[in-house]
Structure 1
Amino acid sequence: MLTEVTATRYVTPLREGGSLPGIVEADDCGTYVMKFTGAGQGRKTLVAEIICGELGRALGLRVPELVTIELDPVIGLSEPDQEVQALLKASGGLNLGMDFLPGSLGFDPLAYEVSPAEAGRVVWFDALINNVDRSWRNPNMLVWHGDLWLIDHGATMIWHHNWPSAATAAGKPYDASDHALAPFGPDIAAAAAELAPRVTEELLTAVTALVPDAWLVDEPGFAGPDEVRRAYVEALLARAGTMHERITVGERTEPRPSQAPGWLTARLHRKDAK
């Protein structure tokens, strides 16, 4: 299981991104970027964050620690923004937190060099999970203490929004032309040789077991949470072995440099600061 903490203070919203995540403090003295069950994308975004984030960590990629966060909606009563108040009220119970990395910077290819080996591992991983949100337009990567960190995996495994399509998802190609790391000559073949054998049924079963039952119940077409977990295992396992054969890296659709999301460099502003 993921570590479970309780939110003690809602600090500030992060206003870039459709899910309106927020920074919270918790009873373990940690500070987290919190994603809410009541957000428009719903609980499947949080499921994707756990499965892909923990899978990436198991494969040796840097992903900030994930926790589940118990939220009492009362914590937001002093929040002046009505949209934020409504989100907190709709998200009582268990939510998701990502360790806040203080001082981290949004990835920019003009300022940070990535080796072909590391670029290949990230591109292969994103192809495996069908990540459509690591482009030069929105890299969803941080540089922290000189290392590259991967964040925001909610827009992955898009087949879980239409489970009948999962059976054919394994054979679909992945166009990495606009990937934020495409300019670094990603060594995809080497990444596949290293990582694909590690994506085993046992690993995927362990990773999917981390998803709370409450986020998997009432899924149409499934008898219960364990059947849903099994569906994730089968879909990812089917992709892993030959995914590298269907990754293409061509010319970018637009010749523009990457633009790091502003919230990634947001400072932690406390409401009681003068």
Structure 2
Amino acid sequence: MAYPPEIRTVQVTRYVTPLREGGSLPAIVEADDAFMYVLKFRGAGQGVKALIAELIAGELARLLGFRVPEIVFAELDESFGRTEPDEEIQDLLRASEGLNLALHYLSRAITFDALVNVPSARLASQIVWFDCLITNVDRTARNTNMLMWNRELWLIDHGAAFYFHHAWQNPAEQARRPFVQVKDHVLLPLASELDAVDAEFRALLTPDKIRTVVALIPDQWLLGDAPFASVAEHRQAYADFLETRIAHSQLFITEAHHARQARI
């Protein structure tokens, strides 16, 4: 991953089809660079917080060497939804005018199937460690949020990560908590190299690199719905959470070990 990372901005030109997954209604769209993207709307249920989680988690994943679709900022013009016949979608488009987030659409990718696709113990351990760090509850057998594309495993959909930021109740304490939901992680039974991965990833995720990723969050996404006096303070809270969590990673590693022993 190049530093500092650069996030391109595209203009959405065509709404192709909704992806009716959960309540967020992401959509496949075409942009002015002629590429197709999966658009995540700021006007969906979790608002810009889901976009912030997607951005931070996706770029941290890229930094750690995972395959993640390119993330772009996607501008949605105010006139875009006027011809949309579906009222629910039209309301979503109107609520999402301005800057949204999108991921490059991996055409013909197939959903990861744990019974068919068996990653190495090392890769499984890396993904489990990463999801414990970002508190990602969405990597279960029911909803793996992984794709197989060109015979390689890709990570997608991290909008449910960093769930603490929906309330911002004592984030310093939240950062030191084990990730009990790891017990449901689809790759946990294969994750036998967590200790080795912990040492490797702790060395990679330096405070400087964490702050570089957090700096990517657009100021306009940090202006409201948070108990901070300024955008800078809000942004710093994400960096503090990650740095504290990495410093205390043994807490979530121990929890993962115990959960794995209960599963195998």
Q: CA deviation at 1:222?
A: 1.5
The separation in 1 between residues aligned to 2:206 and 2:146, in whole angstroms, is 26
Deviations 1:79-135 (A, max 9, x none): 221100110011111110011001101010111111000000000000000111111
Tell me the TM-score normalized by structure 2: 0.91
Alignment of 1:27-42 (within 5 A): 27-42=32-47
Deviations 1:207-236 (A, max 9, x none): 011111100013433222211111100111
The separation in 2 between residues aligned to 1:36 and 1:21, in whole angstroms, is 7
1:15 match:
20
Aligned-partner residue type, residue 200 of structure 1: T
Tell me, yes or no, if structure 1 residue 114 matches structure 2 residue 119: yes
Q: Answer whether contact 1:134 1:140 (CA < 8 A) is retained.
A: yes
Aligned-partner residue type, residue 135 of structure 1: T
1:78 match:
83
Aligned-partner residue type, residue 233 of structure 1: A
Q: Answer whether contact 1:124 1:244 (CA < 8 A) is retained.
A: no
Q: Which has the higher helix share?
A: 2
Picking from 118, 126, 142, the partner of 1:137 is 142
Could you tell me which runs of 5 or more consecutive residues in structure 1 were left unpaired when the two chains were aligned. 253-274
Aligned-partner residue type, residue 14 of structure 2: R
Q: Answer whether contact 1:105 1:144 (CA < 8 A) is retained.
A: yes
Picking from 233, 239, 243, the partner of 2:239 is 233
The separation in 2 between residues aligned to 1:127 and 1:14, in whole angstroms, is 27
The separation in 1 between residues aligned to 2:38 and 2:248, in whole angstroms, is 34
Structure 1 stretch displaced more, 118-127 or 217-226: 217-226
Q: Answer whether contact 2:18 2:26 (CA < 8 A) is retained.
A: yes
1:65 match:
70
1:267 match:
none
Q: How many residues align?
A: 253
The separation in 2 between residues aligned to 1:147 and 1:241, in whole angstroms, is 31
Q: Answer whether contact 1:34 1:95 (CA < 8 A) is retained.
A: yes
Aligned-partner residue type, residue 22 of structure 1: A
Return the structure number with greater relative CO, CA threshold 8 A, min gap 6: 1
Could you tell me which runs of 5 or more consecutive residues in structure 2 were left unpaired when the two chains were aligned. 1-5
**What is the root-mean-square deviation in Å for CA atoms of aligned residues?**
1.6
Tell me the TM-score normalized by structure 1: 0.88
Displacement over 6 Å in runs of 4+ = none
Structure 1 stretch displaced more, 159-168 or 135-144: 159-168
The separation in 2 between residues aligned to 1:173 and 1:110, in whole angstroms, is 28
1:210 match:
216
Q: Answer whether contact 1:118 1:186 (CA < 8 A) is retained.
A: no
Structure 1 stretch displaced more, 215-224 or 194-203: 215-224
